[in-house]
Structure formats: structure tokens, C-alpha cells
Structure 1
Amino acid sequence: MALPSIDTAERRARITARLLLRRDEPLAVADDLVALHATDAATVYLSLAARLTDPGVELVDRALYAEVSLVRLLAMRRTLFVVPVDLAPVVDAAASRAIAAKEREKLLVFLDEGGGWDAAWLAAAEQATLAALHRLGPSSGQELGAAVPALRERVTVAAGKPYEAVQTVASRVLRVLAAENRIRRDRPRGSWTSSAYRWVESAPWPEPPVEEARAELVRRWLASYGPGTEDDLKWWTGWPLGAVRKALKTVGAERVTLPDGDPSAGDGYVLPGDNGPTPPAAPRAALLPALDPTAMGWRSRAWYTDPAHAAQLFDRTGNIGPTVWWNGHVVGGWAQPADGSVAWRLLEDVGDEADSAVRAEAERLTAFLGDARVTPRFRTPLERELSA
């Protein structure tokens, strides 16, 4: 029997119907997207704002710092993500726990080579840090360094080489404590665009079995991003191919053909029964930020981003910049010049209706940004040009 087929038009319709929905609350948006890229602090706010019915910085702040319905985790591909709090134990078991263990190993090597400090020294430094945080409340790295002498210790990195540098141990110790969720990132010292977070106390997540967690994460990903290939999932999760295949089998994923996809990528997978057409929806424009989870959802991107535009929209390592979307595919890019406006450019002719819809989204984004100025951490040629 021939496999069901899902073509590019259907895949783009699924993007509009599943990943660009308008929601009233940040948690609902995060549930749709599974995980929001948080390497760049502004990306979280802009990804949510693009999909919120009535976007506002305070609404996102409340979810992150008052309700704590959204939490930051060092997770897939050693990347910082924001995920719904109920999904955090799953992500932790499926990805973060192994990453945290490797981060601790690397930290011990760093301490031994740089200062001759061992695991006992590190354990004492961590306990002193946790005690200081309990005593002080939300604190910056600088404040914790002032309270804990061990955090002020300095290490020479790459001694004798042209890129020799001297570093304090504070940032690395705090990173490992956060990776293990013994502390977590709280409100930044600056505005919502800042990554200079304060730290607060936390506690390790519950520990579901790794294979169960991986299966649940793949189930959630397929529900939002399916169909996807094994290669897409291997890239997105950062797992070995064997782990991806085992999780797909556990959830009973069904194989489909992708006739318009990259022939080298192979067949795709969907959840059981999810191979039918998406109900027609109204056309939708969106201005998504650099590293938005939709734009970074698959390794193979030719079906939603014309390869002819890649040189303008991606940096040299494959990070995507701010993008303009119409009907489930990328049609241009945008940036914020110094005057605070939103400048955008369409890279293909998509008609007057799309032009008007994009213009309306640009006005909506301008209102959300207000006095804030956003420059992506990973800059792309078109973003640089439009922001000049």
C-alpha cells in the first residue's frame, strides 16, 4: 500500500494553523510551539508578541517571573529555551539532564587546569553560592560574586596562545547550577531585551524515565511541527539517530511521503491519524524574530524558505534572522533601524493582500516595541541592511 502523501502546500497550511495562531496568554502560545528559543532574550518576547491577541511586555513578564508558568532551560543542542512549566521535567529528562552532566564534567576540567581545584572545592563553592542566594534573595552574578569569595577566583584560559584570556569562575559555576535547576534565571537587571539575569533559588525537576520523556517530547513536536523527518528530529533534539527512531516507534508515528521535500531527507512522520488535510484558514502574515521556533523548527528548510533567499536571511552557521511570513512560508525579512521603526522587505511578489497584511503586522510590532531597540545576537545580511 502506498504511503499517505503530504505536499508543501499542506505543510505550509499546518504552519499557519498550528504555529501562528493568535492566543490570549503566553502559556498557550508556548504550548503550541513546544519550546521557544531563548539564546537572545528579546526573541522570547517577540515570538510571543507575534502570536498574542493583545501583546504586552507585562503579560510576558508575568508568565516568566510572577506566575512562573514559563521557565528557561538549557536543553536541546545545548541551547537555552523557554518551555511551559509542566513540560519542563520532560525536557529536562529528555535533553537537559545529560547536558548538565557534561557541563559539570567540563567545569571540573576547567577548574583543575586553571587553578588546581577539585570536585570538593566546587561542591563547597556551590553550597556557599546557594546559601548566599537564600540569604540575599534575587541576585545578579556580580552580587553573588561579592558575597562568595570562591566565585571571584580567576583562571587563565589558553595560556600562551594569541587568544589567552583571564576569566572568573562565577559564570561557569552559575551556569552549571542553572543547568541542574538548582537555581534559575529571574528578571534581568535591565529591560526585557537584556540577558543580564538575576538568579533565584530553585529545585531539581522530577525525574521521569529518559525514554518516556523522549517519547513525550517527540509526540509534542510531531503534534505541532509534523510531518518531520528523522533528520529534522535528530537536529532539533540533538539526540543520536537511534534515540530518535526509538521515540518515533514508541509514539506510533506514521510514515508519510513528502513529494516536494528534499529528496535526501527521506520520508516524514506524523502522529497516528494525522495525515489528512488541514481545514482552510484565512491567509496570515507574521513578522517573526531571529531564531523564532517556527523558523528554526526543521533542519530541512527549503519547503518554507526559498533557497534563493537563504544568503540574505541566514548567517553563516544557519541561524535565521527576522523574517516576514505569508501563508506559511518566508517571503521577506525585517529589522529595526535606530529610529525605532520596523523596516521590512518582501523578497518575492505575493500580491496586494499580503502587502497590506504585512504592513499591518509591522505597525502592530512597532507599537509593541515602543521605545525598545532590538538587535539580534546573530545578525544576517538583510537585517543589517534594513537596520542601517
Structure 2
Amino acid sequence: MGFDIEGRRARLVARHHLAGTAGDPVRAASDVVVLHATDPATVFLSVLARCASVSIEDVARAMYDDRALVRMLAMRRTLFVVPADLVPVVHHAASLDIADQQRKRLVRQLSDIPTEPELPADVDGWLRSLESSVEAALAERGSATAAQLSADEPRLRTALLPTSDKKWDVKRNITTSVLVLMGAEGRMVRSEPRGSWTSRAHTWEPASRWWPQGIPELPDAKARLVEQYLRRFGPATVADVRWWTGWTLGVTRKALAALDTVDVGCGLVLADDAVADEPAAPTAALLPALDPTPMGWKERDWYLPADSRALFDRNGNIGPTVWWGGEVVGGWAVRPDGNIATRLLVDRGEAAVRAVRDAADALQSRLDGTPVVPSFPTPLEKELRTA
């Protein structure tokens, strides 16, 4: 079989473990390169969909006890969970560029916008002094919340003041901006949250706890990252690669030029990976909002239904999706009572209906009644959740 739509779907199912074939959380993450972590619940639900016998506790253990999965700000200024052995690649290919952008933006804001209290003329020097103090406070505590670090270092509570009467233009502290910047530079790491597995209130730990010798240098990181992506998501077009990485077209083409790729008509694959995967019997999968599989390509027509508007919010974020044989056939939601509701948008026969129902029942039992509300609700998800 060549790389027609059926061939691409067969590869997607096999490589992204949509039949639940991943043996552990690290394998589940590695085989989609990284897990989206903007919504904390997505990380857990993405792993459960790919690992038939893994629990919520297993996922948490991999992240916080084993430190085999690391939260990092990276491609497209998005938060991801990254397998530990891929951290140097992601850090040097994406995170440091994002950190540079974030630093320039924050220094510009602190220089141009009135602050409370007022800052000295050397804003860059003031910011670096603040960061050093925060690092020392975090090292002293070992683990801390943003509120605890702000108590230790009051300069973190420095506020940017409004300059207009717009509703969105409000007084805002720089706490989050500084901590996010330091995290992107690899100086701090988001660790275990305060609360349940769906909580967004993460603590911070010194990076030296995770990388005592520092994150290794990697001069060819961008090419290495694209290689990882094509291995899991190819065939992919240049537009797909550019979108997924968040790079300019020039940077994207340079990274691709360093690799041995072939064009198979619907996109590029690595030259040593140009044989299509054999299709298997179709299976059902329930993937969460912002899952890395539906978010893996810019050009998505080959796996979406003809009318997919109900699956996306106004900004293009995809909600929970139901999959059958490598295509999206519907959506799902967790209701407040913990029950999972599904709806199929296309008819794929009674076997698909039964398999989706069984998949929903199996996932529901693994969530143990925990309600899950995506950060970016979509029309179908909201309708199913509130029905």
C-alpha cells in the first residue's frame, strides 16, 4: 500500500498507538514526540488512550517521581510534556528561541509601560538581579509555588499598570512572566501540582534537580527535532513542519535540508522510512482536547470529517475527538457526574458504534468519576457535557 489516505491513516494508528498498544507513559509520549500540556488533563488522557493498562497514578509517577517526562515551554510557545531523553533536542531547537522572545518582550514592557513600583533605568540588569534572587529562593525551598516565591522575593510582585481605559488593560503582576521565562531558559522546572491531576497550580523546582550537569549542548537540534517529527508524523508537508515547530519558512527549510527525505506525493518522509505501514483492523480511540495526534498537522482534511466545525473552538483549538480506523468520526465529553457522552458525526457501521461505546465505558472507569472540562471548550464538547 502506498501513501494514499488509507495508508496515512494506517501509519497514524500504528505509530500513535490508537489501538492502545503503548506499554507505558514514556513510550506513549515518545511515539508522538511530545504531549500537549496546555491543559493538564490532556497529558493524562492522551497517555490513557494509548496505554491499555496504565493508570492516572502511573502517569503522575512517570512525571514527578521518575522524572522521565518533563514539562517545557517549546514549539509555538506552547507547553508540552517531553520525554527526558528528548529534552536537549527540544530545549535547543525551540525553548531557547522562545525564551529569547519572552525576555525581549518582558524587558520592552518593563521599559515602556508604567510600573508599580517604578524601576531603575537599567531594566535588563534589574530583571537579571530579580531572576538570580528567585533562583536562590527556589534552591533554598527545594520546591515552591509562585505565591511562595513572591513572598520570598517581593520584586516578583512588580506590576505593569494600565495605560488605557480598555477592559483588557488592567494592572498585572510580572510573576508569571518571569517564572515562565526562567523555565523556558532551563533554570526552573514545572513540577507536581497542588491539587488533583487536573490542577493547573504547578509547583516549581530548580533545574539542577533534574539536570545536575545542565542540559547538554546540541548544535544540530533543529534537524534532530524535525527528524523526530517526520518519524512519527510523516508524510508531512513543509507547511505541516513549519506549523508544528512554529518556525519561519527559512528555518524550516534549513532543518529539512539537513535530513535525507523523499517526497511521496502527500508530503515528506525520511528516506529510510518510505514504506507504508500495513493497515490493521479498525479500532476506536477517544483522544482528549489538544491531543498531539489531531494537532500534529496543519493540513488535516485527510483525517477529519467533511464538516468538523463543531470539534473546534473559535481559535482553531480542537476538542475531544472520537477516532475509528485512523479518522475522526465524532466527539466526546465528560459530564459533571463523571459519565462520558459521545456523538458520532459520520456513520461507520454498527461495529464502530459498539467499539466507541466500549472505549467510552473503559475510559470512564479509569477516571473514577473525575469531571474533566477542557481549557478551550468546543461546541460539541459543551453540548455533550451539559446535556
**TM surpasses 0.5:** yes
Quote the Cα distance in structure 1 between the aligned partners of 2:83 and 2:380.
32
Secondary structure, aligned partner of 1:86: helix
Secondary structure, aligned partner of 2:352: helix
Q: How many residues align?
A: 373
Question: Where does residue 170 of structure 1 map in the other structure?
Answer: 175
Question: Which range moves more in the overlay, 278-287 or 180-189?
Answer: 278-287
Shift of residue 128 of structure 1? Answer: 1.4
Out of 216, 230, 236, the residue aligned to residue 206 of structure 1 is: 216
Quote the Cα distance in structure 2 between the aligned partners of 1:137 and 1:94.
28
CA contact (8 A) 1:285 1:361 kept: yes
Quote the Cα distance in structure 1 between the aligned partners of 2:263 and 2:34.
24
Question: Where does residue 134 of structure 1 map in the other structure?
Answer: 139
Shift of residue 161 of structure 1? Answer: 3.4
Residue identity matched to 2:170: A
Residue deviations 1:275-296, cap 9 Å, x none?
Answer: 3232232321100000000010
Question: Where does residue 231 of structure 1 map in the other structure?
Answer: 239
Quote the Cα distance in structure 1 between the aligned partners of 2:73 and 2:259.
25
Residue identity matched to 1:235: W
In angstroms, what is the RMSD of aligned CA positions? 1.5
Quote the Cα distance in structure 2 between the aligned partners of 1:10 and 1:307.
19
Residue identity matched to 2:234: G
Residue identity matched to 2:383: E
Quote the Cα distance in structure 2 between the aligned partners of 1:196 and 1:372.
17
1:88 aligns with 2:98: no
Secondary structure, aligned partner of 2:171: strand
Residue deviations 1:226-256, cap 9 Å, x none?
Answer: 1000011110011111222222221111011
Quote the Cα distance in structure 2 between the aligned partners of 1:86 and 1:157.
43
Mapping of residues 1-388 of structure 1, within 5 Å:
6-20=3-17, 21-112=20-111, 113-115=113-115, 116-117=119-120, 118-203=123-208, 205-209=215-219, 212-258=220-266, 268-308=267-307, 310-388=308-386
Quote the Cα distance in structure 1 between the aligned partners of 2:385 and 2:339.
9
CA contact (8 A) 1:5 1:257 kept: no
Quote the Cα distance in structure 2 between the aligned partners of 1:240 and 1:168.
31
Question: Which range moves more in the overlay, 175-184 or 15-24?
Answer: 15-24
* Unmatched tracts of structure 2, length 5 or more: 209-213
Question: Where does residue 211 of structure 2 map in the other structure?
Answer: none
Deviation >4 Å, runs of 4+? none
CA contact (8 A) 1:253 1:272 kept: yes
Quote the Cα distance in structure 1 between the aligned partners of 2:163 and 2:303.
42
Residue identity matched to 1:252: D
Secondary structure, aligned partner of 2:161: strand
Quote the Cα distance in structure 1 between the aligned partners of 2:163 and 2:335.
38
Shift of residue 5 of structure 1? Answer: 5.3
TM-score norm. by structure 2 comes to: 0.93
CA contact (8 A) 1:236 1:299 kept: yes
Secondary structure, aligned partner of 1:343: strand
Quote the Cα distance in structure 2 between the aligned partners of 1:101 and 1:385.
41
Residue identity matched to 1:97: L
Residue identity over aligned pairs, in percent, reads 47
Residue identity matched to 1:6: F
Question: Where does residue 265 of structure 1 map in the other structure?
Answer: none
CA contact (8 A) 2:335 2:372 kept: no
Quote the Cα distance in structure 2 between the aligned partners of 1:149 and 1:61.
32
Secondary structure, aligned partner of 1:71: strand
Alpha carbons of 1:65 and 1:155: their partners in 2 closer, same or farther (altered >3 Å)?
A: same
CA contact (8 A) 2:305 2:345 kept: no
Quote the Cα distance in structure 1 between the aligned partners of 2:3 and 2:279.
15
Secondary structure, aligned partner of 1:350: coil
TM-score norm. by structure 1 comes to: 0.93
CA contact (8 A) 2:339 2:369 kept: no
Shift of residue 159 of structure 1? Answer: 3.9
